[in-house]
Amino acid sequence: MKWYELRAEDVKEKVNTDFKHGLSKDQVSERLAQFGYNELQEAEKPNMFLLFLEQFKDFMVLVLLAATLVSGLLGEYIDATAIIAIVIINGFLGFFQERKAEKSLEALKELSAPQVMVLRDSNWIKVSSKELVVGDVVKFSSGDRISADVRLIQTNSLEIEESALTGESLPVQKKVEPIMGDKVGIGDQENMAFMGTMVTRGSGVGVVVGTGMKTAMGQIADLLQSAETMVTPLQRKLEQLGKILITVALLLTFLVVLLGVIQGHDLYSMFLAGVSLAVAAIPEGLPAIVTVALSLGVQRMIKNNAIVRKLPAVETLGCASVICSDKTGTMTQNKMTVTHLWSGGKTWNVTGTGYNPVGGFFAGNQEIHPSNVKSIGQLLTFGLLCNNATINKKKKEYVLDGDPTEGALVVSAWKADITRDLLNNQFIIEKEFPFDSSRKMMSVIVRDSNGKRFVVTKGAPDVLIKNSESILWDEKQQFLSDRLKGEVEKAIENLGGQALRTIAVAFKPLGPTQSVYNEIEAETNLIFIGLQGMIDPPRDEVKQAVQECKEAGIRTVMITGDHIVTATAIARQLGILPEGGKVVQGTELSDMTVEELEEIVEDVYVFARVSPEHKLKIVKALQKNGHIVAMTGDGVNDAPAIKASDIGIAMGITGTDVAKEASSLVLLDDNFATIKAAIKEGRNIYENIRKFIRYLLASNVGEILVMLFAMLLALPLPLVPIQILWVNLVTDGLPAMALGLDQAEGDVMRRAPRNPREGVFARGLAWKIISRGFLIGGVTLAAFMIVYYRDPNNLMYAQTIAFATLVMAQLIHVFDCRSDRSVYHRNPFENKYLVFAVLSSILLMLVVIYYPPLQPIFHTTAITLRDWLLILGLSAVPTFLLAGSLLTKKKA
Ligand code: ATP
């Protein structure tokens, strides 16, 4: 279908829709049922059974299964069945862990799917892009990603970047008129917007003509199916480390078998013991547990309103040393209310709160009606004319639809009885030049009922004043002399000093047929009318969050488009700007090289009146100084800085699709305090991963050493294969998972950020693993030897004692793993999962030892009470002995 050839009216007929009311609910469900969701097909997923089988592809597991089969054939049915059962249970556990990790990653993808504004049953609503159908009327603006193929019916300076389809990175100017021609390539279909392209400027309305695989993107979708898998640096490091650990474990196991055979043990039983030991000691489950810990942490973050889009960010979060954050909406509430008006050297106060349009205008103590003062009437009227926000009354509450800055202007006008309905009867908007953060202005071309035309501009006052040549003063138009300019600047400083955000309004008349081609023509030679000053109160929680970040060694830097005085006042209120801290303006930044910025950036706490382009420079300078930078943003132009930063953060509410796609973290509530919470979670997740790595590896070291020492000392096997496998399944598995869910240590936000280059085993972890592993192995062997020499004829009893000591030593040691310092630093009952895991492990151990039908399977026999004292005494040694010695070291 050549949609570009058709007139908008014909398109409407063809797709059976209504431009005014959109589709109805019924039409949408019918079309969804018939044509399906607006999704690109994904590569087929491997089948579940195959995924399950994957769990057994490990070489050592296969050897174990083969060995078991042999022992089964030789008549050792009980052993063989038990071993196979344990291997299968282990496989199931691994399988479920992987599924869980995968599922939560999928859920994440869903959460970050783009939303679209669509006209349905006469209302503009937001729906997930996959619910679009042919015939839907959609609108989009700068920063949106187009979600289907759309024939445009209305454009407003609309430009779209189509490189995803055409490879051309220069944006294309869009229009609505039909295009004739036989072969019009995608790049030339200027009245179409295609799925996967992005709006870089302006806004537009269109009707969906293609969805899912029936879009231009769908045709080439096969090329796009290389879904990137998300592996974090830690996971990659662990994979490499895993290979080393496997080799070491295999070598040691081989040594155990060799020594055993030399000492006269029979080859067959040594072989089975060796293979079991290898299966138990190889931490093959480590990557899966890491993924689970990461994804569980990610879910906790979602509960705290932070969505992780790129898994590696979870780790990087813990390294962040600087947060560069927007002010408006992130540190402040973005609920603006005009409280001051200024024009011609006079100031009026405006009363009332929020978006409720009730309030009065006061000059000093005297109430006045703005209709009696021409300049104030114009200031309010023009503030509303050049404005896209609406305030609607919903259930007694006044609700804003649109930009809060503009909402405040709607309300201030309303308080003077100037409403949009009123203006619609008097004025027609001919053209709009939308606001953008680089220009810091917005303009409209307006015609009034007498046919008079003029430009109305509103924007940052310091910019507008530069573009004005006269000013309304004493109700007359006067040349904007240096003196009057000075008066305006004084007024801006005065309002800004009260932490008010200021918007200036200006205008200029146009001839009846005078054309205005671009915003530069529109926004020069203006007549300055006055200022509206609005409060935007800081969010309550931000001050404390800034303070907590400071204690955590993280500096907060405010980057804002707002005026320097306003920014400084708010930064002081929030504790961001310390005594002696520097404030730098966008204009100064433009004149600086990255190197020059590098020199001063450590002292700068506020960047004011910056354009999005400046953010990249700031990120680079900070990174050159060795910082790990978190950078927030919301607009299209923020994307490069978000991408270049170490942790790109996009706003969930006000952020554009483009900013979100560039980011690794999205704040659902746009709140600065959420960044702090995410950093805390990021630090905790990393520490938890270290905790269970420490636990698992120390346990494995213990298991190998007890066997190795026994063989060196020419002792019988202290543990039988099935016991080793049981320990691997129960004692290692459950508590390790529970450690992944551990609470943050109290001081996690009082430490310096982690050095991103530090290895997994940094900060003494390797020493802890080896020393605790040695002790666990040592006490197990000691218990075994004491009981064995007491009664050498009862080997099974001594093996049961060794088994119980190994289990108990690990289960006590797990509490030590919760702290980097020692077991005394944390309340052992705090982590309920861990207490539960440890109690269940103990219970299962008791069942295996005391339940007669299981005794022959696990080669166990009941232990006497007196020997339990021995077991408990010895198994407490690794944890308490070293903790004690560390404590004394600390005190010294
Ligand atoms: P932050 O970067 O912290 O979010 P900001 O929202 O103030 O700060 P911008 O949106 O770039 O940053 O706004 C810069 C300036 O442009 C504002 O201080 C204001 O004076 C002006 N401004 C903001 N919104 C509009 C608008 N809709 N129309 C005209 N001018 C605006």
Hey, whose CA ends up nearest to atom 13 of ligand 1? 561
Q: Which CATH number applies to 1-150+161-205?
A: 2.70.150.10
Name residue 724's amino acid: I
Concatenating the DSSP letter of every residue in 872-891 gives HHHHHHHHHHHHHHHHHHHH
Concatenating the DSSP letter of every residue in 402-430 gives S-HHHHHHHHHHHHTT--HHHHHHHEEEE
Hey, whose CA ends up nearest to atom 6 of ligand 1? 328
Atom of ligand 1 nearest to the CA of 504: 20
CB-based burial label for 633 (10 Å; 0-12, 13-18, 19+):
buried
Question: How many other CB atoms sit within 10 Å of the CB of residue 13?
Answer: 10
pLDDT at 224: 46
Cα(435)–Cα(560) distance, integer angstroms: 16
Atom of ligand 1 nearest to the CA of 329: 4
pLDDT at 169: 77
CA of 794 to the centre of ligand 1 (A): 83
Task: For residue 879, give Cα distances in angstroms to 814, 821, 822, 825, 832.
Answer: 9, 12, 8, 13, 20
* Residues with active-site annotation: 326
Domain 343-531 in CATH 3.40.47.10? The answer is no
CA of 875 to the centre of ligand 1 (A): 65
pLDDT at 85: 80
Q: Using N-to-C axis directions, what is the helix angle for 77-111 and 59-73, rounded to 10°?
A: 150
Hey, whose CA ends up nearest to atom 20 of ligand 1? 460
Q: Hey, what CATH class is 235-301+680-891 in?
A: mainly alpha
Atom of ligand 1 nearest to the CA of 440: 16
Hey, whose CA ends up nearest to atom 16 of ligand 1? 440
Hey, whose CA ends up nearest to atom 18 of ligand 1? 562
Phi, psi (degrees; rounded to nearest 5) at 350:
-115, 130
CA of 135 to the centre of ligand 1 (A): 35
Report mean pLDDT in 10-residue bins for the chain, 892 residues. 88 91 94 89 70 73 76 73 78 74 65 82 90 94 90 91 81 90 84 90 92 83 48 74 82 90 86 82 72 80 87 87 94 94 94 92 90 91 95 88 93 95 92 89 94 96 96 92 95 94 96 89 95 94 96 96 93 94 94 93 95 91 94 89 93 87 90 95 92 91 92 91 86 84 87 87 89 94 96 96 96 90 77 94 95 93 95 88 52 36
Domain boundary assignment for the chain? 1-150+161-205, 235-301+680-891, 306-331+539-670, 343-531
Hey, whose CA ends up nearest to atom 4 of ligand 1? 328
pLDDT at 524: 94
pLDDT at 889: 46
Phi, psi (degrees; rounded to nearest 5) at 266:
-80, 150
Q: Is 56 within 8 Å of 279 (Cβ atoms)?
A: no
Which CATH superfamily, name and number, covers 306-331+539-670?
Answer: HAD superfamily/HAD-like (3.40.50.1000)
Q: Residues near 869 by Cβ (< 8 Å), separated by ≥ 6?
A: none
CA of 465 to the centre of ligand 1 (A): 16
Parallel, antiparallel, or unpaired: how do β-strands 468-473 and 366-368 relate?
unpaired
CA of 533 to the centre of ligand 1 (A): 13
Q: Residues near 832 by Cβ (< 8 Å), separated by ≥ 6?
A: none
Name residue 687's amino acid: E
Residue of 440, 587, 613 to test ligand 1 pocket, by largest number of atoms within 8 Å of CB:
440
Atom of ligand 1 nearest to the CA of 562: 18
pLDDT at 675: 96
CA of 175 to the centre of ligand 1 (A): 28
What does the DSSP 8-state code read for residue 333? Answer: -
Cα(168)–Cα(190) distance, integer angstroms: 14
Q: 240: helix, coil or strand?
A: helix
Q: Is 100 within 8 Å of 9 (Cβ atoms)?
A: no
Hey, whose CA ends up nearest to atom 5 of ligand 1? 561
Cα(382)–Cα(386) distance, integer angstroms: 6
Cα(62)–Cα(870) distance, integer angstroms: 38
CA of 617 to the centre of ligand 1 (A): 20
Hey, whose CA ends up nearest to atom 17 of ligand 1? 562
Q: Which residues have CB under 6 Å of ligand 1?
A: 326-328, 403, 405-406, 435, 437, 440-442, 458-460, 501, 503, 560-563
Task: For residue 773, give Cα distances in angstroms to 284, 732, 762, 777, 812.
Answer: 18, 13, 17, 6, 13
Residue of 331, 332, 384, 405 to test ligand 1 pocket, by largest number of atoms within 8 Å of CB:
405
Residue of 401, 435, 526, 656 to test ligand 1 pocket, by largest number of atoms within 8 Å of CB:
435
Q: 597: helix, coil or strand?
A: helix
CA of 333 to the centre of ligand 1 (A): 14
